[in-house]
Amino acid sequence: MRVSRLVFLTIYTCILLAACAAPEPVPPSKNTTTPLPIKSLIPSPTGKPTAIPRPFRVIGYATEAVVLETISFDKLTHINYAFLIPNSDGSFAALDNPSKVKALVQLSHQNNVKVLISIGGWGWDAQFEEVAADPQKRVTFIREALKVIGEYEFDGVDIDWEYPDPGKSAQNYAALIRELRNALPDKLLTTAVISSGDENGLGIPPETFAPLDFINVMTYDEPGHASMEQFQAGLDYWLGRGVPPEKLVMGIPFYSRPGEIPFRKLVQSDPAAAQTDTFNYNGNQEHYNGLATVQKKTLLALDRASGIMFWTLEQDADGNLSLLNTINQTITAARR
């Protein structure tokens, strides 16, 4: 990153005086070509020194494909295991590879990381609609979810009903969330995954904000996949809707669009892909988040929300090119 003569002189003068204001933050851009030094990100996007007045969560989604030995538990606060698939009668399909799931929970707890079971996912809205509309099916859903939580010793449940419709569907969604919260012991968490806003957010009624421990926002996949503009718009939308900052967790994808290429594959193809947000992979222009953009998003979440979540752990790169490592370094630097 080039530093202008004015900025250089300002910094130099401040050092001599031993007291100066923080430098102006670097404005976000659609295509970041150079990763920013961690310390240069300490000023918040609002121009004020970043403070962390609330606990900050780092939530990684994991699927059966995750390699347990590669998980950086020390950089995580929560893992959401995906997915427990709902049936239309309120029951669930059995989890694949149960021994691996139990091992994941055990390792996580040994490292003081909470593990939630994520129910649903993309493509299961119809099952949620049918279950939530029927009071008896909601009872079955909650009873069976509690059985799974108890069997695997999960720390709570994450509801991944992404797009309830406004109106009756939204009311049924609220009923499911409320009844689930009432059925869970206080020590167990109830969370939800929601869209980044606009018309897709209207199916999430405000009365669901109180019973949820925190709310994960998918600021990706829609037009403008993973852009800073989408991230900021998602923050503005849900804060404007009344989600408390201490419950708001902002999402980052560890994969590209349109090809859904894991970040690790992009940088395996060319390490330089880590330094930008677009890359030509096998003849296709892929859009994603490189290191510098992940730094900026983490800083913005530190300033205005209470966490970062991402999909998924197994899509990350290793070592200095790891997006999770970048998130952790940014948080650590901001706390100094």
Q: Do the strands 284-287 and 278-281 form a parallel or antiparallel pair, or are they unpaired? A: antiparallel
127, 164, 183, 336 from 91: Cα distances, Å = 10, 20, 16, 47
Residue pLDDT, tens place only, 140-193: 999 999 999 999 999 999 999 988 999 999 999 999 999 999 999 999 999 999
Q: What is the predicted pLDDT for the residue at 53?
A: 57
- What are the residues facing 214 on neighbouring strands? 191
- Contact 126/81 with Cβ under 8 angstroms? no
Task: Tell me the percentage of the chain whose pLDDT exceeds 90.
Answer: 79
- Contact 196/230 with Cβ under 8 angstroms? yes
Q: What is the predicted pLDDT for the residue at 193?
A: 95
Residue 243, classed as helix, strand or coil, is: coil
Backbone angles phi, psi at 267, to 5 degrees: -80, -20
The model's pTM: 0.86
CATH number, domain of 23, equals 3.20.20.80
What gap in Å lies between CA 204 and CA 289, rounded to an integer? 27
Domain of residue 65, residue span:
5-335
Would you state the structure tokens that stand for residue 141, as one six-digit string? 């859903």
Q: Going from the first residue of the chain to its last (336 residues), give the mean pLDDT of each consecutive group of 10, the final group possibly shorter.
A: 35 36 36 44 45 80 98 98 98 97 98 98 91 98 98 98 92 98 96 88 95 97 92 96 97 98 98 98 97 98 97 97 98 92
Q: What is the predicted pLDDT for the residue at 110?
A: 98
Q: What is the predicted pLDDT for the residue at 200?
A: 82
Task: List alpha helices for the chain, DSSP H.
Answer: 5-17, 98-110, 125-132, 135-152, 168-183, 198-201, 228-241, 263-269, 291-304, 323-335
Q: How many domains does the chain have?
A: 1
What gap in Å lies between CA 25 and CA 227, rounded to an integer? 18
The residue type of 230 is: Q
